[in-house]
Structure 1
Amino acid sequence: MAPTSTAVRSPARQQNTLRKLEEPIPLLLRPVLRAFILGYGSAVAPRVLTLVLQHVSRLRQRSKNAAAAKGRVDGVSCAPHEPFFVSLGRLLRGGLDPQRFPTFCAALVGGSTLFEVIISKALSTWAQSISPLARIRLSRWFATFTASWLSLTLLQSKPSQAFSATVVEHAEGATSPKEKTIRYAGRSLDLTLFAVTRALDVIVGELWARRKQRRLAAGKSWTAAESALSKLADPAMFATSCAFIMWAWFYHPYKLRRAYYSWIKSAAAVDLRLIKALQRCRSGELRYGEDTGQAPLLQEMCRDYKWPLAWGDPAVAVPFPCEMVHMGRGPSCEYHALARFLRSFKWAMATYLPLNLILVARSPGLASLRKSVKSAARSSAFLGAYIALFYYGVCLARTRLGPHVLGKDTAARQRIDSGICVGTGCALCGWSILIEKPGRVANIGLFVAPRAMATLLPRRYPWDKQWRETAVFAASTAVVFTCVLENKARVRGFLGTVLATVLEP
Structure 2
Amino acid sequence: MSSSSSPPTSSRLRTSLAHATVAVDEFLHSFADDHPLQVSLRTYALALSLSLTPALVPFLTSAKSRTKLGGLNGVKKVLSRELGVTGFAFAITVAVGGGAALQHLLRTLHTDDDPRSDPTLLRSLKHKLRRWFAPLVNLSPVHQSFISNLISSLIAITLLQSRRRPSPQAPIPMTPPTPPPSNSYIPSSKRPSPTLDLTLLIFVRAMDTAVQSIVFKRTQNSHSSSPLKTISDASGKLTQIETHEAKEMRQKLTTKLDALFFWMSSARIMWCFFYQPERLPRSYVKWITTLADIDPRLLSTLRYLRSRTWSYTSGLAPPTDPYVFSSLSTSLGLPPSWGDPAVLPAFGGEAANEVWKRLGVEGRWGVGGAPCEIIHGGKDRKSCAGNAGRRGVKAFGEAFLIYLPVHILPTLLTRPSHLLSPHTLLRRLLSTLRSATFLSTFVSTIWFTICLTRTLFLPHLLSLLPPQFQISHDILDGPFGCILAGCLTCGSSIWIEEGRRRGEMMLYVLPRAVRTLLADGWVRSGKKGVVIAERLAFMLSLSTLLTSAIHHPDSLRGLSRWTLSFIMNGPNAGFWMRKRKQKDTGAPPSPLIPSDDTMRTSDS
Please give the TM-score of this superposition, normalised by the length of structure 1.
Answer: 0.79
Corresponding residue for residue 161 of structure 2: 156
Q: Does structure 1 residue 22 correspond to structure 2 residue 72?
A: no
Corresponding residue for residue 210 of structure 1: 217
Corresponding residue for residue 109 of structure 1: 96
Corresponding residue for residue 37 of structure 1: 45
1:297 to 313, 321, 324: 324
CA separation in 1, counterparts of 2:332 and 2:108? 75
**Secondary structure at 1:418 match in 2:** coil
1:214 partner letter:
N
**Secondary structure at 1:289 match in 2:** coil
CA separation in 1, counterparts of 2:314 and 2:563? 59
Shift of 1:386: 0.9
CA separation in 1, counterparts of 2:250 and 2:57? 46
Q: Does structure 1 residue 323 correspond to structure 2 residue 373?
A: yes
2:389 to 331, 335, 338: 338
CA separation in 2, counterparts of 1:161 and 1:371? 44
* Shift in alpha-carbon separation, 1:188–1:83, aligned structure 2, 3 A: closer
Contact residue 274 and residue 298 of structure 1 kept, 8 A? yes
* Shift in alpha-carbon separation, 1:288–1:80, aligned structure 2, 3 A: closer
Contact residue 98 and residue 149 of structure 2 kept, 8 A? yes
1:205 partner letter:
Q
CA separation in 2, counterparts of 1:164 and 1:142? 38
Question: Alpha-carbon deviations, 1:260-285, whole Å to 9, x = none?
Answer: 11111110111222111111110101
Corresponding residue for residue 282 of structure 1: 306
Shift of 1:392: 1.4
Counterpart mapping for 1:430-441 below 5 A: 430-441=491-502
Corresponding residue for residue 403 of structure 1: 459
Shift of 1:380: 1.6
* Shift in alpha-carbon separation, 1:230–1:423, aligned structure 2, 3 A: same
Corresponding residue for residue 73 of structure 1: none
Corresponding residue for residue 471 of structure 1: 536
1:144 partner letter:
N
Shift of 1:45: 1.6
Q: Does structure 1 residue 412 correspond to structure 2 residue 472?
A: yes
Counterpart mapping for 1:93-242 below 5 A: 93-118=80-105, 135-161=140-166, 186-219=193-226, 229-242=253-266
CA separation in 1, counterparts of 2:68 and 2:444? 44
* Shift in alpha-carbon separation, 1:112–1:80, aligned structure 2, 3 A: closer
CA separation in 2, counterparts of 1:321 and 1:287? 15
1:199 partner letter:
A
How many matched pairs?
450
Shift of 1:252: 1.2
Shift of 1:52: 0.3
Q: After the TM superposition, which of the residue ranges 296-305 and 93-102 deviates more from structure 2?
A: 296-305
Contact residue 249 and residue 261 of structure 1 kept, 8 A? yes
Corresponding residue for residue 509 of structure 2: 448
Contact residue 406 and residue 412 of structure 1 kept, 8 A? no
CA separation in 1, counterparts of 2:190 and 2:317? 41
Counterpart mapping for 1:383-394 below 5 A: 383-394=439-450
**Secondary structure at 1:455 match in 2:** helix
RMSD: 3.6
Q: Does structure 1 residue 309 correspond to structure 2 residue 336?
A: yes
Question: Alpha-carbon deviations, 1:225-259, whole Å to 9, x = none?
Answer: 99864432112211211111111111111122221
1:255 to 279, 286, 307: 279
Contact residue 215 and residue 253 of structure 2 kept, 8 A? no
Aligned-pair identity (%): 25
CA separation in 2, counterparts of 1:220 and 1:433? 35
Question: Alpha-carbon deviations, 1:16-68, whole Å to 9, x = none?
Answer: xx98672266943221121111111110122222210023x689xxxxxxxxx
Q: After the TM superposition, which of the residue ranges 88-97 and 242-251 deviates more from structure 2?
A: 88-97
Contact residue 107 and residue 137 of structure 2 kept, 8 A? no
Contact residue 219 and residue 250 of structure 2 kept, 8 A? no
Q: After the TM superposition, which of the residue ranges 139-148 and 340-349 deviates more from structure 2?
A: 340-349
Q: After the TM superposition, which of the residue ranges 397-406 and 431-440 deviates more from structure 2?
A: 397-406
2:45 partner letter:
I
* Shift in alpha-carbon separation, 1:183–1:434, aligned structure 2, 3 A: closer
**Secondary structure at 2:472 match in 1:** helix
Shift of 1:128: 11
CA separation in 1, counterparts of 2:150 and 2:160? 15
Shift of 1:356: 5.7
1:380 to 436, 439, 445: 436
CA separation in 2, counterparts of 1:81 and 1:109? 32
Question: Alpha-carbon deviations, 1:286-309, whole Å to 9, x = none?
Answer: 111323235622222222223343
* Shift in alpha-carbon separation, 1:213–1:354, aligned structure 2, 3 A: closer
Contact residue 184 and residue 463 of structure 1 kept, 8 A? no
Unaligned runs of 5+ in 2: 1-23, 112-129, 171-188, 229-244, 347-368, 570-589, 591-604
Question: Alpha-carbon deviations, 1:76-97, whole Å to 9, x = none?
Answer: xxx798555x544443333211
Shift of 1:162: 5.2
**Secondary structure at 2:164 match in 1:** coil
2:554 to 475, 478, 489: 489
Question: Alpha-carbon deviations, 1:116-156, whole Å to 9, x = none?
Answer: 24555788979999999x70010001111111111101111
CA separation in 1, counterparts of 2:90 and 2:435? 35
* Shift in alpha-carbon separation, 1:40–1:453, aligned structure 2, 3 A: same
Corresponding residue for residue 486 of structure 2: 425
* Shift in alpha-carbon separation, 1:327–1:483, aligned structure 2, 3 A: same
Shift of 1:187: 2.1
* Shift in alpha-carbon separation, 1:469–1:383, aligned structure 2, 3 A: same
Contact residue 119 and residue 143 of structure 1 kept, 8 A? no
**Secondary structure at 2:312 match in 1:** coil
Corresponding residue for residue 292 of structure 2: 268
Shift of 1:371: 3.1
Question: Alpha-carbon deviations, 1:333-358, whole Å to 9, x = none?
Answer: 22221222112112323444477677
Contact residue 289 and residue 410 of structure 1 kept, 8 A? no
Q: After the TM superposition, which of the residue ranges 493-502 and 98-107 deviates more from structure 2?
A: 493-502
2:478 partner letter:
S
* Shift in alpha-carbon separation, 1:111–1:369, aligned structure 2, 3 A: closer
Contact residue 462 and residue 471 of structure 2 kept, 8 A? no
CA separation in 1, counterparts of 2:27 and 2:458? 65
Question: Alpha-carbon deviations, 1:156-202, whole Å to 9, x = none?
Answer: 1123245799xxxxxxxxxxxxxxxx997622111111111111111
1:46 to 54, 61, 71: 54
Shift of 1:373: 3.0
CA separation in 1, counterparts of 2:163 and 2:456? 53
1:462 to 526, 530, 538: 526
CA separation in 1, counterparts of 2:460 and 2:253? 32
1:501 to 544, 566, 569: 566
* Shift in alpha-carbon separation, 1:157–1:185, aligned structure 2, 3 A: farther
